[in-house]
Amino acid sequence: MQIHMIVAVICDVVIRAGEVCCAVMDEADSNITEHQHCDKPKPYVCTVCDKRFMRDKSLKSHMKKHTGDSVYSCTECEKTFSLPGCLSQHMNIHRSKYKCTECGKCCESKSRLTVHMRSHSGEKPFECTVCNKRLTSSGSLAVHSKIHNGPKLYKCQICDKAFNQLGNLNSHMRVHTGDRPFNCLLCSKSFSQSTHLQLHIHRVHSNRRPCYCSYCEKLFKTNSELNQHVRIHTGVKPYTCTHCSDQFTHNSQLKRHLLDSHNEGKWFTCYICEKKFGESYHLERHIRGHRHLLG
C-alpha cells in the first residue's frame, strides 16, 4: 500500500514539474515574441512553417506539432500532447481555472486569459510598424506582419485582391458572398468575422465599463470609445475635409459632411419622399418609418 502511495506521489510531482516547465516555456515564448526589438538571434528555423527559435530544444518541441508525436491524451476532449505538463496545463480549460468573467470562456493559462480579455476591453497594445494597425496579441501581430513581408499566393477571383494565407482569402470572400456564420446567441445578429461578434457582445450586451475619463469621470466600454470622447475635452479634431479644410472630431462626422456639403459619395433616394441618404441601411430604416405611418 505504501509503495502505491509513493508511486502516486512521484507521478504527481513529475506532472506538476512538467506543468511548471510548460508554463515557463509558454511565458518565455510570449515574452520573446512580444518584445519585437530584441536583438538576440534565433538560429533554429522550423522547416515546415519557418518559425524561428533561440534554442534547439524549443525547435524540437515545436516540431512535434507537425509530426504528430503526441502521446498524452486528454480524457475530456481527446486532444493529445507531447509533454505531460502541457496536458496538465490544457486540463485547466476543463477545470475552469482561468475563466473569463465576461463570457465564461475557460483558458489554459493566465497569459492566454489576459490576451482573451482584450477582446472585451478593446485593448490593442501591439502596433504594426508598417501600416500602424493595432492588434491584441504578439501572435496576431506576427501573423499580420506576413501580409507585408510574405508572397500573396491566394488571389480573389472576383476583385483580384491577393492574400498570403488561405484563411485570409476565405475570410475576405464573405465580403462578396454576404455569408455571416458567427451568430449572437443573445439577439440573433450575425457577423462575417468572429472578432466583430465579440466586439458586438461587449458593446451591446455587456454592462462592464472599465475605461475611465479623467476629465469628467464618465465610463466607457472600450478604449476607442474613451479616446473619441476625450476629444470633446481636448478639442482635437483629427479628421479634415480635403475640399474646404473643415475639421471634425469623428470620422462619421466627416463622411456626413462630404455627403451633405460636397455631394461626395453615392446617394440612396427614398422613393416615397425623395429624401437622400449616404448609406443604404439608413434608407432602409427610413422607409420602414414610412410603412409604419402608412399602416
Say whether pLDDT at 92 is over 80.
yes
Please, what is the average pLDDT of the chain? 75
pLDDT at 207: 79
pLDDT at 13: 42
- The answer to whether the CB of 268 falls within 8 A of the CB of 280 is yes
Report pLDDT digits (tens) over 9-41. 444 443 444 443 444 344 334 333 333 444 556
What nine digits make up the cell of 263? 455631394
The DSSP output letter for 268 is: E
Say whether pLDDT at 233 is over 70.
yes
**Amino acid (one-letter) located at 9:** V
Strand partners, 120: none
- The answer to whether the CB of 124 falls within 8 A of the CB of 134 is yes
- The answer to whether the CB of 127 falls within 8 A of the CB of 134 is yes
3-class SS letters over 94-124 = HHCCEECCCCCCEECCHHHHHHHHHHHHCCC
For 141, the 3-state DSSP assignment is helix
In angstroms, rounded to a whole number, what is the distance separating the alpha carbons of residues 59 and 48? 11
The CATH number, out of the four listed (3.40.1130, 3.30.70, 3.30.160, 2.60.40), of the domain defined by the range 239-294: 3.30.160
Residue 83: closest CA among 113, 57, 106: 57
Q: What is the mean pLDDT of residues 80-103?
A: 80
pLDDT at 71: 65
pLDDT at 268: 77
Report pLDDT digits (tens) over 237-247. 888 888 888 89
In angstroms, rounded to a whole number, what is the distance separating the alpha carbons of residues 208 and 204? 10
Produce one character per residue of 276-288: b if its CB has 16 or more CB atoms within 10 Å, e if not.
ebbeeeebeeebe
Q: What is the mean pLDDT of residues 256-261?
A: 78
Q: How many residues can be counted in the chain? A: 295
Same fold, 126-205 and 239-294: yes
Look up the CATH architecture of domain 126-205.
Answer: 2-Layer Sandwich (3.30)
Query: Domain limits of the chain?
Result: 44-95, 126-205, 239-294
Cα end-to-end span (Å), the chain: 83
Report pLDDT digits (tens) over 161-205. 888 778 888 888 888 888 888 898 888 889 888 878 887 887 788
In angstroms, rounded to a whole number, what is the distance separating the alpha carbons of residues 191 and 204? 14
For 16, the 3-state DSSP assignment is helix
Question: Which top CATH class is 44-95?
Answer: alpha beta
Residue 138: closest CA among 29, 42, 39, 49: 29
Report pLDDT digits (tens) over 34-72. 334 445 567 787 776 677 788 887 777 777 666 655 567
How many of the other CB atoms lie within 10 Å of CB of 244? 10
Q: What are phi and psi of 150, to 5 degrees?
A: -85, 160
